[in-house]
Amino acid sequence: MNIIVTGGAGFIGSNFIFHMLKEHPDYRIVCLDALTYAGNLSTLEPVMSNPNFRFVKLDICDREGVYKLFEEEHPDMVVNFAAESHVDRSIENPEVFLNTNIIGTATLMDACRKYGIKRYHQVSTDEVYGDLPLDRPDLFFTEETPIHTSSPYSSSKAGADLLVLAYHRTYGLPVTISRCSNNYGPYHFPEKLIPLMIINCLHDKPLPVYGEGLNVRDWLYVEDHCRAIDLIIHNGRVGEVYNVGGHNEMKNIDIVKLICKALDKPESLITHVTDRKGHDMRYAIDPTKIHNELGWLPETKFADGIKKTIQWYLDNEDWWQPIISGEYQNYYEEMYGNR
């Protein structure tokens, strides 16, 4: 089996590559990644010398480059993680989200049509369903929940999902889609809530909570997401969408307080800042379908996963220090300077 994994130098893609090389040591994994601000080649250092692994620096919108890679590799499957993934950046600059997340997805699928493929898997998000009200804890996103997006990011992901399903219906492309809730774990880029709060705590810097911090996210340890995708690409039904989430809903403010406690930092570091525009209130996944059809269940409890994650950031300053010392400083100043 030869699998092209796009966006494999990012957070979830790199964890997926480690998972696949461990669980399927006879598979060839080709990582295609443009190495944007969010891609980090040093993350893939541990597998660079693995003879079953190849890294190719390439933009998924580069049609010529993508076709050339398919001619060289004859992949059996493509798993598309490559995306612009940060909601706040999409609010500042939507265009790159439309290019990568929509045009890039179409380009990859055109290559799959041209050269043939056993499976194209689109890594999507629960954000395509919009949000749920805080006062209706009985409501969850199922695969039948209508698409109803809030941000340019989620709209671009929803656009890609619709294209993926259209390529299945129109051209018979063998596709699957997974829509997962918020991931956390090693190699999470410091712009996102959990690593940002851990790293700020370590520097005794203010912890910028948007609004009152009552928004709810449904957190899943990244390895559990990787296992779900592994199951879907092998056993999932073509043309189907699978929601992935572990019923682990938490308010942002509670996550931040928990991180303060774990690092023995005062809650007085918490600073309430101007809310995100269009901020989704609550995400909550109903994972019944993937559980019943594929037997998937999350394995890592949040209490254990967050401990492991905090420890990982304590042990791997070499990974995140170069990131926060570079261009990230300008981003941080623009995003939080006058907030």
What is the set of active-site residues? 126-127, 153
Q: Which stretch binds ligand DAU (CB under 6 A): 26-34, 52-60, 190-198, 223-231?
A: 190-198
| From the list ligand NAD, ligand DAU, none, partner contacted by residue 81 (C-beta under 5 to 8 A by kind) | ligand NAD
- In the complex with ligand NAD, the residue whose CB is nearer, 101 or 200, is 101
Q: Are 12 and 184 in contact (CB under 8 A)?
A: no
- Does residue 81 belong to the site contacting ligand NAD (CB under 6 A)? yes
Contacts of ligand DAU in 316-335 (CB under 6 A): none
- In the complex with ligand NAD, the residue whose CB is nearer, 30 or 61, is 61
| From the list ligand NAD, ligand DAU, none, partner contacted by residue 198 (C-beta under 5 to 8 A by kind) | none
Contacts of ligand DAU in 104-163 (CB under 6 A): 125-127
Among 28, 86, 282, 289, binds ligand DAU (CB under 6 A): 86
| From the list ligand DAU, ligand NAD, none, partner contacted by residue 233 (C-beta under 5 to 8 A by kind) | none
- Does residue 229 belong to the site contacting ligand NAD (CB under 6 A)? no
Contacts of ligand NAD in 10-39 (CB under 6 A): 10-13, 33-36, 38-39
User: Strand, helix or coil at 261?
Assistant: helix
**What minimum distance in Å lies between the beta carbon of 9 and ligand NAD?**
4
Among 29, 44, 61, 193, binds ligand NAD (CB under 6 A): 61
Binding site for ligand NAD (CB under 6 A): 6-7, 9-13, 33-36, 38-39, 59-61, 81-85, 100, 104, 123, 125, 157, 180, 182-183, 189
